[in-house]
Amino acid sequence: MKITDKGILFYGTIETTAAGGGDPLCREPIPCCTFKIGGPADVFARPETEEQLCRVIALCKACDVKYYLLGNGSNILFEDGGYRGVVVDTTALKMGIGFLENVSHPGAEPGAVYDAVIAGAGLKLSALCKAALDSSLTGLEFAYGIPGTVGGAVYMNAGAYKYCMADVFVSARVLDDDLNVITLSKEDMEFSYRHSVLQKHPNWIILDATFEMTAKDPGEIRKVLDKRKERRMSTQPWNFACAGSVFRNPEEKPAWRYIDEAGLRGYEIGGAQVSPKHSNFIVNNGYASAKDILDLIRLVEKTVYEKFGVKLHKEVILVNWD
């Protein structure tokens, strides 16, 4: 590997055990977030196995090249100039879903058993919810419609309807800074509102997670999922490129109410707009730059603080911004 002013050049290939062989490193610039804006990465890596993932990370470390771990690209805003380094896409990791029946764990009450779902970190959260439905398991209905992957949801302790990932989480296998596989329990994760211990260790990589579920009539589960989907479709601007909720909800009332009361519903900067449908969403109207989005986020933060003395905290993660 050599670093030049034109970016990162890879000499040779990284061997792969994937079917058909090939190089897990893609040299094409690829935009990386659900806002559908932001510049390209110097290198975009899409490993398909844990072994490939370890090789890509080890190579970056050996060559002192920074890297960023990417799931579905929701809750992310890349700078217009792109990412100077390697973006590692985890969504292609072939780790699937597994089911266990009548199991226990150290944190359970004596004699208590449950059904468990083990899901790869790169799996879309919506796919996990559907798989649980197909297996007549309840517990993840709240997560249906939340954008992103299992790994991202655990990392952020994503939630909705007063529930969150911590409510069903049992454990996760994680790759640490030294590329050792460790297992983190619910206690180890230090969950709180939209927070986990993983945010203190940005280079740790979730490989898979285990969730506690219980059996239930699939017809009842489907009714809840359909209701959640209908509500999201009617109240949120999913026909526009966006990252979901931009701000965490303060304790007093939802962030969207503060934004509404500040008179910012529908406010625009360039091609970025506070959604007329839901004020805690900022959408790309088709011609926004990443700077437009960030400028609008900062204007909302400033206006709400000046009017109400409330500091809104972003859920959106800013990548490669000075």
The two three-digit tokens of residue 128, written as one number: 């996990």
* pLDDT at residue number 73: 86
19/268 Cα distance (integer angstroms): 48
Written as one string, the DSSP assignment of 60-72 is HHHTT--EEEESS
DSSP state letter for 29: -
Cβ atoms of 49 and 170 closer than 8 Å = no
220 belongs to the catalytic site: no
Give residue 1's pLDDT.
40
- Please name the helix (run of DSSP H) or strand (run of DSSP E) that holds residue 307, with its range, or none: helix 290-308
Q: Which member of 74, 126, 196, 245 is catalytic?
A: 245
Residue 266 burial (CB < 10 Å; 0-12/13-18/19+)? Answer: exposed
Question: Which pLDDT score, from 0 to 100, does residue 30 have?
Answer: 47
Alpha-carbon distance of 34 to 29, in angstroms, equals 16
Domain borders along the chain are: 2-89, 97-223, 238-319
Fold: same for 97-223 and 238-319: no
> Quick one: pLDDT at residue 302?
98
Annotated catalytic residue 315: yes
**Average pLDDT per consecutive 10 residues, the chain (322 residues; last block may be shorter):** 35 32 45 81 88 92 91 88 88 74 58 76 90 92 89 93 94 95 96 94 92 93 91 89 93 95 98 97 95 98 98 92 76
Architecture of domain 97-223 in CATH? 2-Layer Sandwich (3.30)
> Between 3.40.50.10320, 3.40.50.2020, 3.40.190.10, 3.30.43.10, what CATH number should domain 2-89 receive?
3.30.43.10
Q: In whole angstroms, how far apart are CA 127 and each of 60, 136, 175, 228, 272? A: 31, 14, 23, 15, 30
Query: In the prediction, which pLDDT does 7 show?
Result: 33
Structure-block tokens of residue 213: 């579920």
Catalytic residue among 55, 173, 194, 228: 194
CA distance 44 to 26: 5
At the top level of CATH, which class does the domain 238-319 belong to?
alpha beta
> Which residue type does 72 have?
N
pLDDT tens across 219-268, in order?
999 999 999 888 888 899 989 999 989 999 998 999 999 999 999 999 99
pTM for the full model? 0.81
